[in-house]
Structure 1
Amino acid sequence: MHNLFSLPRFSRLFQKHTAEHWKSYLMGTGVLAGALLLVLGFLSYMNGGAPNTRAQSAFFGMFMLGAGFLFTSHVFADFSGKARAIAALSLPASHLEKYVVAWLYSFLFFLLVYIGIFYAVDSLVLTLAAHGEQPRPMLNLFAQEEKAYYAFLLFAAVHGIALWGGLFFEKLAFIKTAVSFFALLMLVSILNYSLLQSLLGVDLRFNLPFLSADFIENEHSYYRIAPTGLQQYLPELVLLVLSALFWLAAYARLREKQL
């Protein structure tokens, strides 16, 4: 058990990782805050007012996925290249402990920091755009109207893919993982579209897989076929399973580097 996970050893590894990377993480946090302020501020200026909750939800999800994908794909950068990999692999810690440290920073800590930054910037933009009047309402992550909480499910899947890609690709992990991800998404979408079109026998509107089948008949009537009951939670289940599979695949890839 101690060879797999030791709390004192994990604590020392966590402290070492923090001491070595806190400056770069702090700089990344500043860049993220600046980018959010620039985009939300520019949007408020162009629209003559602060963004509504729907726009806030869209930017919340886009920045979370983009910044999270970029950060996660580099969290295992110490294992790329022979010189850096030898130093990282020779650390007196198990592969599980190294994996958990990277997972905590790239998933849990990233989400906590990102949510704090977003709401700090969003609050500032809403206050400045109000011009002394009552500010627009701030995004509620758990509101049913915007359903911003779905971004967390998407982030879990994107995080798993980026974590695996950061270990699988030796160089240019971010670019190669992104290309592989979009190629896989496009392939699955095309296969899903072709299968539904052959089953229904109508001209479908292109849609992401596992969501719905949309089509128009007689140039006027719009129809949507979507899962009901427990089946409507199929996309969420697929994302959770996909996240778990890529997390396990990333851990298996790290173990291969250890052997």
Structure 2
Amino acid sequence: MSLRTFCTHSIRFSKRSISGISLRLISQSHKSIIEKESSISCEPKDVLFDTSISYPQIMSRLRKQAQHSILLQLDVSERDNANLLLKEVKTFCSHVGDVQYIAPYYIKVKNGRLCSYLVEFKDLNSIHKLSLLSDDGKLRTRIAKLKPNELKLSHANDSSKPPTEKVLAHTHSEFVQSMMRASSISEQTNLFYTYCSATNKNLRAKFFLSSVVEDFFNYKIESNLTAVPFGSSMAGFSTPSSDLDVSITNIETVP
């Protein structure tokens, strides 16, 4: 075999090999995207900072997660154990459907506290069942109230109470002191990101509220609009007390 013939065959073989490898890589990448797309209960921050997916895919996934969620409210006494309440609410929800995620949100009210639980279910049928508990008749909002007699409440002393305003203020004071003690801009940047970076719990709440706003608009004016968070929520910087920026747009712009 001549050198020219050998080189020609080698080049053809290399092209076929590279082409085969490229096709396999593209196939694996496409499969990975499909698998990620079908997953609903990923943490929001993991989705936001996933560079392998596009912006429409990010919004689609986070909106689907929000639409599979419902906020359950429960008036309880200060004496009720927060950990036990969370466990009992999760048990109650597990009888309705497959619970993917649950997190408590506490608001102090007169003569007790209002406990809200954001619950994500695997399927929408579970949401429809619990939405019947809503005070609003036809709208069937995804904000519903639980009755205390539906849970086996315990009045044991709470050893792990929700954080109070004083604790949060003390945390902010520590943050300011840490920023002042920082020796470089790089260290200050890391401290700022650690303190101001949105938590998964906070991002879930903001996307959920956006989806409730969307339900309201579509019910009241019979439109086909989409409520999409923007600003700090999409940048990954947000605190529980920060404003929620929502853009009302056409459904076609967000798959």
TM-score (norm 1): 0.22
Q: Which has the higher contact order (CA 8 A, sep 6+)?
A: 1
TM-score (norm 2): 0.23
Higher helix share: 1
Higher strand share: 2
